A and B are shown apart, each in its own frame.
Chain A
Amino acid sequence: MQKANSLRGGPDANGHFGIFGGRYVAETLMPPILAVERAYAEAKADPAFATELALYLESYVGRPSPLTFAGRLTDRCGGARIYLKREDLNHTGAHKVNNCIGQALLARRMGKRRIIAETGAGQHGVATATVCALFGLDCVIFMGATDIARQAPNVARMKLLGAEVRPVTAGAATLKDAMNDAMRDWVAHVEDTYYMIGTVAGPHPYPMMVRDFQTVIGDEARRQILAAEGRLPDSLVACIGGGSNAIGLFHPFLDDPSVRIIGVEAAGHGLASGRHAASLKGGRPGVLHGNRTYLLQNADGQIDEAHSISAGLDYPGIGPEHAWLHDIGRIDYVSATDDEALAAFMLTARLEGIIPALESAHALAWATGAAAGLGKDHVMVISLSGRGDKDLATVMDALGDGAPS
């Protein structure tokens, strides 16, 4: 049960956050999902697991990641004091690896030798391929054919790391289709295979487990901001696709009512255009990929294609805990368009010498827009969830004639 006085106690024993979450999978997958749940509960109770995880996070990932005061961004915006939580400095360039290390250690405990994963932008695929190389596990990455075409550098990385990248041509051949095919593969290989889901979605226990592995972001940020400012921040901002970097930053602050929390969805060409990836603002509750959550869908319950310039946000759903936090009003969910994200991408590069991932640029877009209206004593922490090297081709293409000289 969720503790009455805490928002951090969820989910319940069956993986529900309010009406969201759960385990909506075919019977063939229930036994392996229950096995993951049991194994994770045992690992969580085993101090040796936490010790080993902490060791890898420090010596391999490079944690703790810094909390950087963004002085020039702060001056330009003319309001809130802006701090950036630097997940872009992790090994592999994004927050995804935090979760992959944790799940790889779990898979190893379970004796599974073959790892499968889905990927959109390729960041989770690269992180998965990386930990599989590190731990000597076989690795198959499911990736939409459309995404393979627009994320060539990450495809090359995965192959270099020894992973097999399996193109998915069903549907629009993007992240949701890759997740469908990964689940189909798992059904057919339950004995030897572990499914390493990359975000806080999917059937229980994944939303809880991935959140737990990403909470290191918020735990560090809390210590770091207390050291830097001597107090809690006034606001937290993070981008949301499935929502794993966001929940990781937010979770340790959920019970601090003075901290305003803002999640930024991808508004694509604009919420009114119908070409966006904002599940909370533009979708409604439904069931997909093992959980109940907000989904982009039509009146008949058919899932719509999402659109975002950022492949990592290009997903028609959102993690069930976010759906719940939205409904109870603890977190404010807003959105930023492709164009706004591109402008923030440029701004952050020019003012801070940091090229952010296009995903993170959505958080920066909302935050830099809002910062001016906030007082100079307002302290804001933004999750810089990944670095933008992977996005250079997309950005140059989008800027076209307006490319910077």
Chain B
Amino acid sequence: MSRIAARFQALKAKGRAGLVTFVTAGDPDLVTSQAILDGLPAAGADLIELGMPFSDPMADGPAIQAASLRALRSGAGMQTTLEMVARFRRGDDSTPVVLMGYFNPIYVFGVERFCRDAAAAGVDGLIVVDLPPEEAAELTGPAGAVGLDVIVLTAPTTGEARLAQVLAEASGFVYYVSIAGVTGTASAGAEAIAAAVTRLRRHTSLPVAVGFGLRTAPQVAAVAKLADAAVVGSAIVERLAAGLDASGAAGPGLVDGVLALVRDLAAGIETGSCP
């Protein structure tokens, strides 16, 4: 069984939803980013989304755009991102790691080589934001061959007929983008999320994670009542940015600050979850 499937099964057994955290690999520098990554499971992250830095993150709001640029300026790239996961795996063999980003760096790296190297590094799944089902075959084949899940995104704009088409290719879990917008901007209401999750469950038996616009422990608690996992990205990245010193380098309390926020969010999951 894959780490993703095992983790969702374990969460179900415990009767609670999972917390999915997002940080960009190499933000603000490789050493600090590794320390954050390595600390996430103990702070309460059940699944980890690790952003692959990209110069033109079109689906992201200002916080994650800035994170990507900080990472690139620190020398991060596809190779360093995979090395980060490999180092993480030396201390953690159970927390799923999903790489999230855009297709161009994967395409330029070479899709088959990327999938092979990612699987070897201990990556469990991929979320490629700008690869809709119409274009995904190029990735799903090589990814499937090495056991990587390709996690699909669904959005409020995804109609009923299209939903079936999108979910036909899904594996691992389904990521519901709860707002029509970029990351870290607006937040959806609980009723809208509940309706969307119900609709998704008619089409798939895969776990459903909800993200985009979740910022606080109460919001995470609300989503934990409705879905299998809640994803927090921009709020964590903003906390990281708040820990930078005037020169843009990591300040002394940056890692602790980020992990403290993750602990708060994880507490929200505990209070919010119901079987």
Contact = CB atoms under 8 A, between A and B. Distances in A.
Pick from B129, B153, B157 the residue with the most CB of A within 10 Å. B157
A70 interface: no
Contacts of A26: 58-59, 129-130, 132, 153, 155, 177
B135 A31 contact: no
Contacts of A54: none
Interface string B108-120: 1100000000000
Interface residues of A, number: 39
Interface stretch (B16-24, B178-186, B220-228, B255-263): B178-186
A170 interface: yes
Contacts of B105: 300-302
A368 to B, nearest CB: 36
A288 B182 CA distance: 17
A171 interface: yes
A24 B156 CA distance: 18
B274 interface: no
Interface string A282-293: 000111111010
A33 B153 CA distance: 16
Interface residues of B, number: 46
Given A23-B132, A300-B78, A302-B72, A287 B104 contact: yes
A277 B183 CA distance: 31
A25 B130 contact: yes
Contacts of A299: 108
Nearest to B154: A27
Interface stretch (A108-116, A180-188, A233-241): A180-188
Given A286-B107, A302-B54, A23 B59 contact: no
B107 A180 contact: no
Pick from B53, B105, B158 the residue with the most CB of A within 10 Å. B105
Contacts of B53: 302
B200 to A, nearest CB: 13
B56 A171 contact: yes
A254 interface: no
A289 B104 contact: no
A188 B185 contact: yes
Interface of A: 14, 22-32, 34, 170-171, 176-177, 180, 183-184, 187-191, 285-290, 292, 295, 297, 299-303
Contact of A188 (B69, B78, B129, B181): B181
Nearest to A22: B135
B59 to A, nearest CB: 4
Nearest to A183: B58
Contacts of B58: 25-26, 180, 183-184, 289
B38 to A, nearest CB: 24
B77 interface: yes
A207 B57 CA distance: 21
B34 interface: no
Nearest to A170: B65
A299 B75 CA distance: 13
Contact of A30 (B65, B78, B108, B162): B162
Given A30-B162, A301-B109, A302-B72, A180 B56 contact: yes
18 contacts: A14-B134, A23-B132, A25-B58, A25-B130, A26-B130, A27-B152, A27-B158, A30-B162, A171-B55, A171-B56, A183-B58, A286-B107, A287-B103, A300-B109, A301-B106, A301-B107, A301-B109, A302-B105
Contact of B56 (A23, A31, A176, A191): A176
A190 B79 CA distance: 36
B159 interface: yes
Nearest to B186: A188
Interface string B173-205: 000010111100110000000000000000000
Contacts of B55: 171, 302-303
A187 B182 CA distance: 7
Given A171-B56, A180-B58, A188-B180, A287 B107 contact: yes
A189 B180 CA distance: 7
Contacts of A191: 180
B39 interface: no
Contacts of B131: 24
Nearest to A189: B180
Contact of B61 (A30, A184, A297): A184
Interface in B199-223: none
Nearest to B159: A31
Nearest to B105: A301
B181 A27 contact: no
Given A176-B56, A288-B104, A303-B55, A190 B185 contact: no
A28 B56 contact: no
B166 A27 contact: yes
Nearest to B80: A300
A22 B182 contact: no
A58 to B, nearest CB: 38
A395 to B, nearest CB: 31
